Structure 1
């Protein structure tokens, strides 16, 4: 095989030495060319190797109608473009998949949050009245224990005791709904 091949000539398996010469002669320049297309040295090397592997494996089927050099450059060009197209398809799919997961996660999260809110409202209604009132003033009205004590004309110690009782009862009522780690977080937030 040499640069003087003309139309109608076929490559065949008897040309191992010639193949090696062509490989050594063109590999670096083809690699540099592929780098300008794919902008990645490792992938550029793979593109050139793919072209040479295909040339070796299908030598009895490939017909070179121009110079070997022209054939190799055109093959590397098409191999590189196919790789870039593959990247675009892969990136588009990844973007789509991430979007789908985010939408599913948001929907699932919203459903779980809504169920938690419903369960919390039910659990709050089941608290003793004084306990529920103190809890709601503390957590929903964001009042300090002293402010609640002043408004309800109770001692701060009573407010603390009632809050402790409310938190214990809510943990028990919501225990089957929340995993253990969330119970800890939930109790810290409540």
Structure 2
């Protein structure tokens, strides 16, 4: 299972609830076809079903996660943990919603827990516990959405060069050398921009 880099892929969560096609086109959404095929594969061969699930949703889930944790590597790790948990607990047998809805919700919950742990608002052990759809309360869902919007506002409020450096580093996985070349500044300046952005985020989230 070797998916392509996710930063060039669209965020599937943004397409939730959108119609398939244009105008009066009432075709069955492609995601519904995917879900049906994945479930049928799980019925005949759980290992192949799991691999198909991973290939279908890993990239969009990473794209979604990185919007919360502002770090490509962390996003990949959290999404991978979600899939491992799904496999170890045989969740294909118990998930009553669509796999897509379950996975996106589980990832949002895990990102929320990671952020709270990162800024010392919860114990580290909670990171391993809060991984499933059943752990989400309506209050947590609301808090997750509010946290996402808060992070977006903080990032958008950074000085232009600082914001560009931060986004290129954390969202696109660019090296400091690549960012320096893109922005026509020194590597030292890039380090300063990233450090400043992280400090602003940490202070803001600790107050939030």
TM-score bracket for this pair, using the shorter chain length? 0.3 to 0.5
TM-score of the two chains, using structure 1 as the length reference:
0.40
Give the TM-score normalised by structure 2.
Answer: 0.37
* Structure index of larger Rg: 1
